[in-house]
Amino acid sequence: MPHVVLQSAPLLVVRRAFFSAFLFCFSSVALFAQSSQPNASPNTSAKTAQSPLLRTITAGTETEYLIRLINGDIMTGKILEILTKDAVEQEFQTASKQNPSLKDKIAENVSSEAIRFETALGTLTIFASEIVEIIPRKQSYRHNHRLYIMPTAEPISGNAFIGVWELLFAYAGVGITDYVSLTAGHSLIPGILPTEQATVINCKITPYSTDIDDAGNRLFTCIGGNLALVNEANVFGHIFAGATFKGARTSITGQLFYKANEPSLYTIRGMNLFSFSTSYSRGTMGLGLGLDSRLSDRHDVHFIGELWNADLLRPSNSALLLGLRLCNTAIAMDFGVAIVAQPLAVPFVSFVWTPF
C-alpha cells in the first residue's frame, strides 16, 4: 500500500496544481473580458435617453437586437431611432388628429420614451415602458459553444461559465478571444476518495469561421485535445477536429476524435461502490454528431441531440442523448435521457451559469 501511495502522489500534485492554475486563469480572463468590454458609443438620441434600457443602445446601425416585451413577446430587428418623450408626444398629437381614438393612448404613454424598430414584418414604434429586456442578438444565446457533453466548433469567445453535470461533476469554461476555448471539470461523488475522482481538461481552437450566404448561415471549424483522468491510474487522451453549420434556428455539428495514448486496458473503481474493467485501444477513431435547434419562435427552448460512437469499427459502442434546454442570456438548464447499447436509458441533467 505505501508503494501505491508514493506512485500516485506525483499525479495528485500535478492534477491539483493544473486545476488550481486553470481556475486562476478562468477568474483572471473572465474579469479581464468583463472590464475590457467597450462601452457602446451612443448616438445623439441615446445621450438624451432617460430609460436605463435605452442609454447604451446605438441606433441607426446594422446591429440586430432582441427585444422581450412585458407581454412575453420576443422580436428581433434593427433599432432605427430612439424617440425622446417630446418626440413621442408630438407623434401622438399628430396621429390623434387623424384618429381621435388615440387620445387615450397619449395619457398612458406620453411619459415614455420609444424606439423605432425595424423587423421582417415592418417598422414598429415600441415604448420603453413595454420593454423588459433589450440585448444584441448575438448575445441572446451564449450556450452555443457546447451541446451536452460534446463541444461545438463555435468558440466561447468573451464569455465565461460555471456549471454542474448530473449534480456530481462541476466544470467551468472561459473563452480567450474568438479562437481559444478552455474548459475543465472535476467530479464530486460522495464516498469516493479524491484519488478516485475524475478530472477532465479540454482545449478547443476555432481557427476559421465564415459566412456562407447573405441569410446569416455560418460555418465554424475547430481542432483541439482533451485529457481525462478517471482515477489517477487511468488517463485518456484525445485529439479531435470538427465543424459546425449554424443556421437561423438550427446548428449541426460533426466531430472526429482519436484516442492518442496508452494503455489499452483500464480498471475503473470507486472504493467499495463499483469496480469494472474496460478496453480502449490507442489509435481508436470515434465519431460525434450533434444538433441544437431552437423550437418555433421561443428563444428560450432548444432541442438538443447527440450521437456518439467511440469506435467506428464497433457500431455497438454508441450512445444517443436526447433532451431539451431551457435558457436565457445567463442560465441554461438541460434535461434529457441517454440511450446506450443493451438498450439502457439513463436520465441526465445539467445546469450552467454564464454571469460575465
**CATH number, domain 2-36+141-353:** 2.40.160.40
Residues 6+ apart with CB under 8 A from 295: 301, 302, 303
Q: What is the pLDDT of residue 102?
A: 60
**CATH number, domain 44-137:** 2.30.30.100
Integer angstrom CA distances of residue 226 from 12, 152, 183, 249: 18, 14, 9, 29
Q: What is the pLDDT of residue 248?
A: 79
pLDDT digits (tens, 9 = 90+) for 297-337: 667 899 999 999 999 998 888 999 999 999 988 899 999 99
Strand 198-211 with 274-279, pairing: unpaired
Mean pLDDT by 10 residues, the chain (356 residues): 41 53 51 44 49 80 85 84 79 69 57 83 86 82 92 93 94 94 94 87 96 84 94 87 93 96 80 76 94 83 94 90 92 94 86 89
Residue 197 in grid coordinates:
475522482
Classify the C-alpha dihedral 308-238-166-163 as positive or negative: negative
Are 253 and 243 in contact, with CB atoms under 8 Å apart?
A: yes
Distance separating alpha carbons of residues 95 and 345, to the nearest angstrom:
61
In this structure, what are the phi and psi dihedrals at residue 50, rounded to the nearest 5 degrees?
-100, -25
Q: What is the pLDDT of residue 128?
A: 85
Classify the C-alpha dihedral 68-69-75-78 as positive or negative: negative
pLDDT digits (tens, 9 = 90+) for 160-191: 999 999 999 999 999 998 999 999 999 998 88
Cross-strand partners of 346: 338
Q: What is the pLDDT of residue 33?
A: 45
Are 184 and 117 in contact, with CB atoms under 8 Å apart?
A: no
- What does the CA dihedral 23, 28, 33, 36 come to, rounded to 10 degrees? 180
Domain range summary for the chain, segments of one domain joined by +: 2-36+141-353, 44-137
